[in-house]
Amino acid sequence: MPGRHPYASAAYAQALSGHGRPVEVAPWDGFVIARPIDGAGLEDAMGPYPRTPLPPRADLAGGLETLAAAGFVSITLVPDPLAAPGEDALRAVFDLCRPFKTHVLVDRAAGPYAPSKHHRERIRRGRRRCRVELVSLGERLDDWRRLYAGLVARHAISGPARFPDRYFETLARMPDMVALAAFVDATLAAMTIWFEHDGVAVSHLTAANDLGYANGASFALNDAAIEHFAAADVIDLGGSAGAGDDHADGLFQFKRGFGNAETRAFLCGTALDPAGYKRLTARRCAGNYFPAYRG
């Protein structure tokens, strides 16, 4: 029997504590992050970034009751599409349940790994120019922080993906984490971080520098990671950049070239304190954003 999913562990929740206070939700066998609501003296909760693993038989209503009893105004989360109750079960419990992102998969049940012609050419080029190897994230933390800082600057990343300092130190100690690096000659060009749990490998984060972009390091890294996780039933490459589901997005197209299947994740949310939610929303509201007072 596998233990908790890495994203549901106490260690991972603590790694995200720069965004708020970790709170255990026993009916969901995991944690959420409590966030103060500016100027209101109240808190709401969000699922861990980038997704919340809810066991297939999780007591969804019981989790909401636990959070409401703790005084939270609302909860927002993205259930892991590969480790959660189905869409009907989510819609039956959450006030909000709308399509969020399409995840690209390499699903062994759907057929063998077969990248597109375009990607095969880029993979060959990247593998020819780059040397890929398994590395210790702990020993490469400074290198990784520089690569990720470059990614943050390049794409103006904000919000949950702008991680607190201790975050990567915690990842480096997690037993389900795997890191690979690409080198051009002896110079680091890119790194990627993955998790594997219960037959599913998940691409967590990848970052490259200018040398990596120029030499196809990300193509080489993804191909090497898929090869490394050959025994996994499913490899989840994730979806498009940002908060939308843009299939024309360059990152999505990059991932799609490796995949042979897709699945959809949903954004779920509930106003746990309807009266408090209404008061906050009347003061500050932004379209269909949830929770509206944070828009």
pLDDT tens-digit readout, 58-117: 999 999 999 999 999 999 999 999 987 889 999 999 999 999 999 999 999 999 999 999
pLDDT recorded at residue 182? 98
Residue 111 to residue 118: CA distance in whole angstroms: 19
pLDDT recorded at residue 243? 64
For residues 60 and 86, is the Cβ–Cβ distance under 8 A?
no
pLDDT recorded at residue 84? 76
Residues of the chain with pLDDT under 50: 1
pLDDT recorded at residue 105? 97
With a threshold of 0.75, does the pTM exceed it? yes
* Partner residues linked to 32 by β-bridges: 23
In the chain, the domains with their CATH numbers are 6-100+266-294 (3.40.630), 113-259 (3.40.630.30)
Evaluated on CA atoms 197, 201, 59, 276, the torsion sign reads: positive
pLDDT recorded at residue 245? 65
User: Coil, strand or helix: which one is 192?
Assistant: strand
Q: Is the peptide bond before 274 cis (omega within 30 degrees of 0)?
A: no
pLDDT recorded at residue 52? 96
Orientation angle between helical segments 141-155 and 166-173, nearest 10 degrees? 130
For residues 202 and 234, is the Cβ–Cβ distance under 8 A?
no
